[in-house]
Amino acid sequence: MPPIKDKYTIHSKAVVCQDVELKGDITIGAGTVVHPKAAIYAIAGPIVIGQNCIIEEGAILVNRRKEVMRVGDDNLFEIGCRVESPTIGHFNTISAKSRVHHTVRISSFCVIGIRCLVLPADDEILPDYTVIYGGSTSGDAAGVDAVVERRVWSGRGKVQEADLRRKHAEYLREMLPKFNRVRRGDGS
* Interface positions with other proteins (CB under 8 A): 73-74, 90-91, 111, 113-114, 131, 133, 135, 149-151, 153-154, 156-160, 162-163, 166
**For residues 57 and 128, which CB has a smaller minimum distance to other proteins in the complex?**
128
8-state DSSP, 168: H
Instruction: Round to whole Å and give the CA distance between 13 and 32.
Output: 8
**For residues 27 and 108, which CB has a smaller minimum distance to other proteins in the complex?**
108
Q: Give least dist CB 48 to other proteins, A.
A: 16
**For residues 65 and 166, which CB has a smaller minimum distance to other proteins in the complex?**
166
Q: Are 83 and 62 in contact (CB under 8 A)?
A: yes
**For residues 12 and 154, which CB has a smaller minimum distance to other proteins in the complex?**
154
CA dihedral of residues 19, 77, 42, 13 (deg, nearest 10): -60
Using alpha carbons, select from 188, 147, 186, 181 the residue that is nearest to residue 15.
181
Q: Give least dist CB 50 to other proteins, A.
A: 9
Using alpha carbons, select from 87, 85, 89 the residue that is nearest to residue 102.
85
**For residues 32 and 63, which CB has a smaller minimum distance to other proteins in the complex?**
32
Q: Give least dist CB 68 to other proteins, A.
A: 20
Query: 173 by DSSP, 3-state: which?
Result: helix
Instruction: Round to whole Å and give the CA distance between 58 and 104.
Output: 21
Q: Give least dist CB 131 to other proteins, A.
A: 4
Q: Give least dist CB 121 to other proteins, A.
A: 18
